[in-house]
Amino acid sequence: MDKLFFMNDYGEGAHPRVMQRLMDTNMEHSCGYGMDDYSLCAQALIREKCGQPQAAVHFLAGGTSANMIALAAFMRPYEAAVAAEGGHINVHETGAVEGSGHKVLVAQSREGKVTSEGVRAVCAHHTDEHMVRPRVLYISQSTEIGTVYTLSELRALRAACDDCGLVLFVDGARLGSALTSRGCDVMLPDLAALADAFTIGGTKNGLLYGEAMVIVNPALQGDFRYMIKNRGGMMAKGRICGLMFLTAMEDDSYFEWARHANRMADLVREGLARGGVPLVQQTQTNQIFPIVTREQLAQLEERVAFERWGELPDGRWAIRFVTSWATSEADARALAAMLEAL
Amino acid sequence: MDKLFFMNDYGEGAHPRVMQRLMDTNMEHSCGYGMDDYSLCAQALIREKCGQPQAAVHFLAGGTSANMIALAAFMRPYEAAVAAEGGHINVHETGAVEGSGHKVLVAQSREGKVTSEGVRAVCAHHTDEHMVRPRVLYISQSTEIGTVYTLSELRALRAACDDCGLVLFVDGARLGSALTSRGCDVMLPDLAALADAFTIGGTKNGLLYGEAMVIVNPALQGDFRYMIKNRGGMMAKGRICGLMFLTAMEDDSYFEWARHANRMADLVREGLARGGVPLVQQTQTNQIFPIVTREQLAQLEERVAFERWGELPDGRWAIRFVTSWATSEADARALAAMLEAL
Amino acid sequence: MDKLFFMNDYGEGAHPRVMQRLMDTNMEHSCGYGMDDYSLCAQALIREKCGQPQAAVHFLAGGTSANMIALAAFMRPYEAAVAAEGGHINVHETGAVEGSGHKVLVAQSREGKVTSEGVRAVCAHHTDEHMVRPRVLYISQSTEIGTVYTLSELRALRAACDDCGLVLFVDGARLGSALTSRGCDVMLPDLAALADAFTIGGTKNGLLYGEAMVIVNPALQGDFRYMIKNRGGMMAKGRICGLMFLTAMEDDSYFEWARHANRMADLVREGLARGGVPLVQQTQTNQIFPIVTREQLAQLEERVAFERWGELPDGRWAIRFVTSWATSEADARALAAMLEAL
Amino acid sequence: MDKLFFMNDYGEGAHPRVMQRLMDTNMEHSCGYGMDDYSLCAQALIREKCGQPQAAVHFLAGGTSANMIALAAFMRPYEAAVAAEGGHINVHETGAVEGSGHKVLVAQSREGKVTSEGVRAVCAHHTDEHMVRPRVLYISQSTEIGTVYTLSELRALRAACDDCGLVLFVDGARLGSALTSRGCDVMLPDLAALADAFTIGGTKNGLLYGEAMVIVNPALQGDFRYMIKNRGGMMAKGRICGLMFLTAMEDDSYFEWARHANRMADLVREGLARGGVPLVQQTQTNQIFPIVTREQLAQLEERVAFERWGELPDGRWAIRFVTSWATSEADARALAAMLEAL
């Protein structure tokens, strides 16, 4: 029997609706580099969904590429990004931001979320030309550990950014799961109104690949296509990504798929609760971080594919389950039952 | 009536066999970042087809990304690439190589092909630490203007590289068309034996996207995945690209598709010959560069989608027709007939 | 007997007046990083001499450092500098500009001087985001081969820059010699009125080291000290450079020293003329490029220190004599006599 | 009355012996770019003093320039430096290391000194190509806060570097003060035997400017002059720096000057002790960090030039006194008396 798959949210191809759309249009001709009609439509639709008719929208192949291109576009060489210690750009992008010449400064965070006081403290500390100048606040919605910024938290960060002269950039690799999570009071137009720029992640929510970069602030929009090409991010068959995002955003499929992932995660969370399994961190999104004993770890690894997150000082293990649009209810219930019986 | 499409070789989706394969495997689970079985199989198959069991193979999203990552991996900061004046990295990548910190030096070329004397002259001119050090010879097979290096030309470049301490890197964005073109005496194993590294282009020959980077020289293989990630080139769903290349390389479909593109181009060339239309440059690959009068240009543009390449001093225009795996014989014959009657 | 020294214009220490000033003030205390009173005075004096009360002035250690910092400050990552093929940044700075991520585009030049038509042609060729965007026109006054832009040539370049959206940057490593050369109709205020930014070279005209960066265009002045520090160009004992420039600019010593160098070069030129020795290029500045036979070369090398510039196809050699503030009239006359008798 | 100057160790010109030497040789001719006899002699002398006949020695203009060039030379793009949180490259170089594309990772430190366990922990955490690879351990001797690594601490760091595959680089901007400080058991040859590369700082110990880069490890020596030029660090009049280092290293003047600075600091420390003024951190080098009340701060600032280091939560201030070769015993005693009477 195959293992249950809770390893990640990019383990399958694309949502069947996306695949069908690619099949249906496969032999149509179009011009390249994202200037085709599908891409233009998808951009218009995203602007509309965001309530930002003047926003610039670009489709990029992956998250690291999107982050590094945006941060390089938004900063001068001596300017720095501010992020949580565990922020993706700070830890898991192999120095791509530094590779573009920019320092990543660490601000205090709680539950994976940068605090506005943390942002202010970093800016207060960087006072003259012997130090980098903080310029972009980078946050992820949801965060690396599955938590979600509330509307009031985002507003506080926005205020800090305004006071300190920072651009607010939101990495939305898992934006769908965040915005559709239980208790999240942030809607897409809220995010678009508060952020200077953000991404809508496709790779982890039903597309073959792709992140939509939404640049709301007009001052940051100029020459972005030059920047994309300069950093190797421009795809010749741009229409593929445009078409996939069009499919995802029509009828709000994007959010439906994310909601499904969250529901499957809820089933798993219920199993954990019933089994009394402790968690590293409470989450409502599609990532769950239980703590298990060595014996439980071995037992689970026989039947479930998941990731070891890290060993704790007491010998137990933090592990990670991830659900997605592709997780079946049967699998989620099977895992829940297994966890209940641990 | 729709225009005949001879605009480029990336105007459609993927070859139907590729799409079918993606559909068939869509809901399978796999690990990410190109460590999945499809990617591993595709790598093994490419190594075998190249006759290079020790080669390292990586799948990258696009041509500019592949070029900039390879050149950054192969050079120290003060080292430079050598290319033809019209070379893709020198003109059409928005300074991506320079964006990684490296100068592109221009060597003499004939018919779009760098000459070995040109390479030697550039190296002879760069003698000390007040100038960059030439380190990589970058060529394209086929070239920007559709010409093809012969085996003896490649051997002469290899010898120049050996004498001058250069790495030979071949941009194979249109490698299929080059290797299957009439009169080309270079086979894939020949190229693999002569180059230190090269790409096998998928985007322009039947895939949704993707270039296979083949690093033959073991001294250049180390840490390449770090470099990919550092430059934003690593795809989470790596399996998509692996699977597409597996499909293309099995049964040599890749070359079959390219041969088809060349045959369609031959039909167009025959029409041009019958019509007495002059060419900028004789080619045997899937790019054709006729010269037309303003009147002919206007006439053609009503019925055919193609690219204006540049206005000549005498007021005529160089234009470009491109064929691909997706060009139908009916369309090619229709264009040929039109050209014959110009 | 020591050889006559015509090797370069940086072969000695500093002009005795500069040394004396350093001695006189050596034990004074001052704050660091160029915020001291000498630096401030020197900046004010340069602004005054330039007739540009709003210009920003910074002191940098060397020419390559100054060029790379200015160009990095003035450009976005996908923007490029335009220069003569033999321009210093294009040939003799080991890719420092590319090391900051920027391509150097070559424009047509005549007698070492970029032509305004050349600039326009480069800009006309770079039309979209698949190519770099030309942004800075880099020229040297005097040029690499000792020629000097006239006022009308500079005005034509300024007009081209205005039409094409380029910044005009003038590398003044040998500005003193250029502006005091016979027939030069450009004065310092003319240059300052036409250029967006330029350097006043100290290293090659009497200082121990140092280039004054004058940024006339207010739009380019912001954050320049951040940029200097970010590229390793900020000197802790900034006062040294400030004091040296103060000494040089007071009483126009800077121009007096340069005029001396030109006069010494004139003596040498007269010797060459009398001896009928051909030149690679007519110059009026402190660099002279005679063409000599192999026999003459050997004969000269026994008694004179100078640089071989390059072998000509006919076996003769282009050589370079350079004069400076430190060249004695006796030496210049001795060399002239030797050349007359060649 | 002038204030007593304890602001920094780069507030005057050069040691009179250095100035005299520059005067004496001022009109000698020499070739450029550090290939002159004085530079060669100084390099040989430094190799001898270090007990490393194979070491490569280069003279660079400043500390940030030296650090950024060395780290760029020693690393591939995806590699990172490890430093103390307060390390100069991490805080006070305006992102120059990141400007070369490299991340700076923070390791645990005690009293400003990186611990070997801290280094091991950082390396253990960076395991695969999704994270940067630690490659250089950067430490300062003395540290930013005036503390000094003991021989056994350096040996422990060396062992950690060996185990983790790190290069050990020591920033010696204040090396003289460190090696001559009371209780320091590290001699120059010890440092040279333990470090892969290090600098001997001239700017803060008697020279007009300049840092000597000593590269002991032959594997790191290659092409360093290319790297210097590529980053704008090569001085045309290289002889000036060579001559200054020659003067400093002959008769061990360098250490004599540093020892003087430390003795002056000891006088100040004795005053602080007698006055019962608390310290942020015990030091034996030329930097002293007392803690004073607001009233004491105001009182001191009337008569002494020094730096405010930072306000403490309780409203008191940490301040910094720095001594140098130029500090007179009279001034040191005057400050000590003042502190005693605070």
Cα–Cα distance measured from residue A326 to residue A303, given in angstroms and rounded to the nearest whole number: 18
Q: What is the pLDDT of residue C100?
A: 97
Dihedral angle computed from the Cα positions of residues D57, D58, D62 and D68, in that order, rounded to the nearest 10 degrees: -90
In chain A, which residue ranges form alpha helices assigned H by DSSP?
A: 16-24, 37-50, 63-74, 88-91, 96-99, 116-125, 151-164, 175-179, 188-194, 224-230, 238-249, 253-275, 294-303, 329-340
Which residues of chain D does C19 touch, with a Cβ-Cβ cutoff of 8 Å?
22-23, 26
Which of B217, B290, B185, B180 lies closest to B70, judged by CA?
B217
Cα–Cα distance measured from residue A115 to residue C231, given in angstroms and rounded to the nearest whole number: 32
B199: which 2 tokens?
């790409």
pLDDT band at A103 (very low <50, low <70, confident <90, very high): very high
Q: What is the pLDDT of residue B183?
A: 87
Is residue D167 within 8 Å of D221, Cβ to Cβ? no
Other Cβ atoms within 10 Å of D119 Cβ, number: 26
Whether C78 sits inside 8 A of A133 (CB atoms) is no
Question: What is this structure's pTM?
Answer: 0.97
**Each residue's pLDDT tens digit, B209-256:** 999 999 999 999 999 999 999 999 999 999 999 999 999 999 999 999
What are residue C32's phi and psi, to 5 degrees? -100, -175
Show Cβ contacts of residue B298 under 8 Å, excluding neighbours closer than 6 positions: none
Q: What is the pLDDT of residue A183?
A: 87
Q: What is the pLDDT of residue A2?
A: 85
B1 pLDDT above the threshold of 80: no
Q: What is the pLDDT of residue D156?
A: 98
Cα–Cα distance measured from residue A191 to residue A82, given in angstroms and rounded to the nearest whole number: 19
pLDDT band at B2 (very low <50, low <70, confident <90, very high): confident
Mean pLDDT along residues C221-239: 97
What number of H helices and E strands is found in chain A?
14, 15
Query: For residue B24, what is the nearest residue in chain A, using CA coordinates?
Result: A13
Cα–Cα distance measured from residue C339 to residue D13, given in angstroms and rounded to the nearest whole number: 43
**Inter-axis angle of helices D16-24 and C16-25, nearest 10:** 170
Which residues of chain D does B76 touch, with a Cβ-Cβ cutoff of 8 Å?
223, 226-227
Quick one: DSSP state of residue B320? E
C1 pLDDT above the threshold of 80: no
Query: How many alpha carbons lie under 13 Å from residue C222 in its C-beta half-sphere?
Result: 8
Q: What is the pLDDT of residue D1?
A: 58
Q: What is the pLDDT of residue C2?
A: 85
Query: For residue C72, what is the nearest residue in chain A, using CA coordinates?
Result: A77
Distance from CA of B266 to the nearest CA of C (A): 29
Strand partners, A104: A81
How buried is residue A213: exposed, middle or buried, by Cβ count under 10 Å (0-12/13-18/19+)?
Answer: buried
What are residue C56's phi and psi, to 5 degrees? -95, 135
Mean pLDDT along residues B267-277: 98
C183 pLDDT above the threshold of 90: no
Is residue A48 within 8 Å of A56, Cβ to Cβ? no
D249: which 2 tokens?
């290293």
Looking only at the bridges linking them, the beta strands covering A167-171 and A197-201 are: parallel
Is residue C129 within 8 Å of C77, Cβ to Cβ? no
Is residue D290 within 8 Å of D319, Cβ to Cβ? yes
Interface test with A, best of D68, D91, D98 (most A CBs within 10 A): D98
Other Cβ atoms within 10 Å of C163 Cβ, number: 12
Is residue A278 within 8 Å of A291, Cβ to Cβ? yes
Query: Any idea how long chain C is?
Result: 342
pLDDT band at A1 (very low <50, low <70, confident <90, very high): low
Interface test with A, best of C31, C71, C75, C76 (most A CBs within 10 A): C76
Residues in C whose CB is inside 8 Å of some CB of B read 77-78, 80, 91-95, 98-104, 129-132
Which residues of chain B does A31 touch, with a Cβ-Cβ cutoff of 8 Å?
7-8, 11
Interface test with B, best of C79, C88, C94, C129 (most B CBs within 10 A): C94
Is residue A265 within 8 Å of A285, Cβ to Cβ? yes
Q: D: neighbours with 3+ CB pairs under 8 Å?
A: A, B, C
**Each residue's pLDDT tens digit, C209-226:** 999 999 999 999 999 999
Going residue by residue through chain D (342 aa), what tens digit of pLDDT does each one get? 589 999 999 999 999 999 999 999 999 999 999 999 999 999 999 999 999 999 999 999 999 999 999 999 999 999 999 999 999 999 999 999 999 999 999 999 999 999 999 999 999 999 999 999 999 999 999 999 999 999 999 999 999 999 999 999 999 999 999 999 998 999 999 999 999 999 999 999 999 999 999 999 999 999 999 999 999 999 999 999 999 999 999 999 999 999 999 999 999 999 999 999 999 999 999 999 999 999 999 999 999 999 999 999 999 999 999 999 999 999 999 999 999 999
Which residues of chain A does D100 touch, with a Cβ-Cβ cutoff of 8 Å?
101
CA distances from D57 to C65, D32, D81, D211, D224 (A): 21, 16, 22, 10, 10
**Each residue's pLDDT tens digit, A197-241:** 999 999 999 999 999 999 999 999 999 999 999 999 999 999 999
Q: Is the peptide bond before D142 cis (omega within 30 degrees of 0)?
A: yes
Q: What is the pLDDT of residue C99?
A: 97
Other Cβ atoms within 10 Å of B15 Cβ, number: 25
Distance from CA of A31 to the nearest CA of B (A): 6
